[in-house]
Amino acid sequence: MTFVVRLLAVSTLLLFASESAASYKVDGERKSFEIYRAEVAPVIDGRLDDEIWRHAAVIDDFHQTVPVDGAAPTETTVVRVAYDDEFLYIAADLRDSDPTGIRAKQMIQGKMFFSDDRFWVTLDSFNNKRNDYFFQVNANGVRRDALRENNARFIEEWAAIWEAESAVHEQGWATEIAIPFKSISFAPESDTWGINFGRGIVRKQEFNMWSSHERQDWPAYGGEVRGIGEIQQGLGLDIVPSINLSQQRDLLLGGDRNAFEPSLDIRYRITPSLSATFTLNTDFSTAEVDEQQVALDRFSLFFPEKRGFFLQDAGIFEFGNIDTNGRPFFSRRIGLSDDGEAVGIDGGVKLTGRIGDLSLGALAIRQEANGSVDAQDLFVARGAYNVLDESAVGFIMTHGDPTSNDSSSVLGLDFLYRNSDGPFGEILTGKFWAQQSRSSLVSGDESAFGAALEIPSDKLSAYLEAQLIEENFRPALGFVNRAGIRRYDTGFRYRTRPETGRWRAINHRVDFSLVTDLDGEALSQQTAVRPISLYSHTDDFMFVEWQRNEESVRSDFELFGRLDVPAGDYVFDRYRAEIATGMQRPFRVVLSVQDGGFFGGDRLEKFVELQWRQSAHLFLGLSLTENDVDLPSGSFTSHLASLRTDVAFNSRWSWSNLLQYDNTADIFGINSRLRYIPQAGKEMLLVLNHGASVDAENHLSSTASELNLKVSYTLRY
């Protein structure tokens, strides 16, 4: 571990050179303002001519975070905030000296719009400086929302009901936002919330914030809004009935299956900060399909959750800030068999929210029988208590196994630490977690532990992490793709920001990873050196990278289901170069090539991605990945291709298509989605899925087809 010791020494020295620019405190106090209570609600149309905005406080003391942290913005932003019994209202006048340069090429609700000018507001409704709600809008009035948890995790799949409309005018553009108090949780006894505002001007690659620290705008660095009181959530009841009409066709064996499936979701706010959600006859047939991945080693792939019921308040169930291996709870294990086939869910109930400094979540699901697996009752409980200024200590418990009739449970404890005024004035974060599983299949060696320290600053980012997962650690409701290991990771990234010239940022990065068995014998070791990464003022970037890989393979395995990799020790170097143009460009290109050794042979990987945003109404995206692998056991070239098209007729009607081809799995698939959203909380989806197999000569043979029509309507009381 000499490398680790040297890295920590270098990191410590570099910390003394780091500087802080813009701060979220003024004279030692957080930025704040008094909110205006309105007697008459504004019309949400993007035109700031309502009486309410003449009385609301003016917030215009923004600063840059990019390109120059703390510098004055090149364009003026004026924000006003008000509220009444049921809504929080935000108006933003986003002035622009060149209105013809405003970018607005996304018109599909919920889609990302990194290519567009945008405005966002974040709400820390419990003012705990740890978590907040994220609401973003572009000049087309397209809404995007997310949860931000533990000052670290961005959960973009979360969705809420809220309103926003935007309008371009002679001096720039404006937007009006109305967020119902029914859509968020809050502490009714508090009159002060955390709040922040941000703006992106993409043609300049300029980003402005009201409150930030070290270019970061996490909840820990937001300001405050004071004077909120006597707000209402009505009965706090959302009733969401849905109907799904489906037709499934087996094109190999023949036969059709038609179905009519009603479902019901009910969400009831027991208190303004605590909610219960019920789901009956849950249907996930219209959830977005997964993007294909190619496995290039012997470990299972990780696919993100995309189903709405599980994404609601998903951040509360996050444990230990664990990304993949070792997660005690991973909701994708529910409602899916081991081979990836959908399994019905009779119903479920979820309790989520906060009581004072305690955040808690509980989930109970009744999963239908599937083959030899009986119907299963599955349960998850999670709690976290705020300690210190920005930290939390918590627990998690799971019970049940969705893929077998064996008993299984997990109990875990975690501590998440954050200090915005850490050593040398830098941000310091840390985590520790411990888990114990219990399974009727095994006995003993069922524990897992992890710990990490990180300094995530702009100039120097450094981290050190360790993980131990015993051989029989088996979270049946979680995710483990490598057990019986000790893992150590460390690295740093040093960044300079030239004051003049083409480049906005120049990065230098080193990462090191070591995986051993429980006796300390090395299994995998990787050193990755990225000597230079260049980021331009137009958001173009490029980098080169060298990797040294050392692998001790204990058992034979197959690549692509075709090539044998025998047990043995392997050492190989790999080299990578990548270049990409900025996302704000109408035509974007990403090119990557990686070459070098690979398990006793060679692997050449080529990747190209092309994106064309013709207008706000049409987007085309094409990506191609080719892996040319030559091993002593044989050769194979894998091809993974996808074509995505988005057609937006307006901000309510859209038609999206995803075509995917994977010769490794010999499949070709089409997912086509016609979507109508007349208003937030009301939706119609027509989804076509069509699958085909691919033979050795690349001939397609249709295998299955499914057509689903789903209509849902939210009733709020």
What is the per-residue pLDDT across 474-532, written as a single tens digit (0 to 9) for each? 999 999 999 999 999 999 999 999 988 899 999 999 999 999 999 999 999 999 999 99
Average pLDDT rounded to a whole number, residues 522-544:
96
**How does pLDDT run across 27-71, given as a tens digit for each residue?**
678 999 999 999 999 999 999 999 999 999 899 999 999 999 999
Q: Where are the domains of the chain?
A: 22-226, 235-281+665-717, 300-481, 501-645
pLDDT in the model for residue 17: 40
Closest by CA to 103, choosing from 183, 33, 204, 21, is 204
Specify whether domain 22-226 bears CATH 3.40.50.300: no
Q: Where are the beta strands (DSSP E) in 73-131?
A: 77-83, 87-95, 118-124
pLDDT in the model for residue 20: 43
Closest by CA to 268, choosing from 234, 309, 302, is 234
pLDDT in the model for residue 375: 93
Q: Is the pLDDT of residue 617 over 50?
A: yes
Closest by CA to 399, choosing from 358, 344, 440, is 440
pLDDT in the model for residue 389: 84
Q: How far is CA 442 from CA 20, 146, 338, 388, in A?
A: 52, 40, 19, 39
Average pLDDT rounded to a whole number, residues 232-256:
89
pLDDT in the model for residue 592: 98
Cut 0.85: pTM above it: yes
Cα separation, 137 vs 166, in Å, equals 8
pLDDT in the model for residue 555: 94
Phi/psi of residue 145, each to 5°?
A: -135, 165
Q: How many CB atoms lie within 10 A of CB 491?
A: 21
pLDDT in the model for residue 4: 43
pLDDT in the model for residue 13: 43
- Which tokens belong to 374? 């009986």
**How does pLDDT run across 271-284, given as a tens digit for each residue?**
888 999 998 887 77
Cβ pair 489, 513 in contact under 8 A: yes
Q: Is the pLDDT of residue 714 over 90?
A: yes
Cα separation, 666 vs 99, in Å, equals 49
Cβ pair 619, 634 in contact under 8 A: no
pLDDT in the model for residue 701: 87
**How does pLDDT run across 100-133, given as a tens digit for each residue?**
999 999 999 988 899 999 999 999 999 988 889 9
- Which tokens belong to 530? 């990225």
**How does pLDDT run across 368-396, given as a tens digit for each residue?**
998 889 999 999 999 999 998 889 999 99
Cβ pair 495, 505 in contact under 8 A: yes
Tokens 């936002």, located at residue: 177
Cβ pair 493, 508 in contact under 8 A: yes
Q: Is the pLDDT of residue 162 over 60?
A: yes
**How does pLDDT run across 4-35, given as a tens digit for each residue?**
444 444 444 444 444 445 667 776 789 999 99
Mean pLDDT over the full length of the chain:
91
**How does pLDDT run across 308-363, given as a tens digit for each residue?**
778 777 888 999 999 889 999 999 889 877 776 778 888 899 999 888 889 999 99
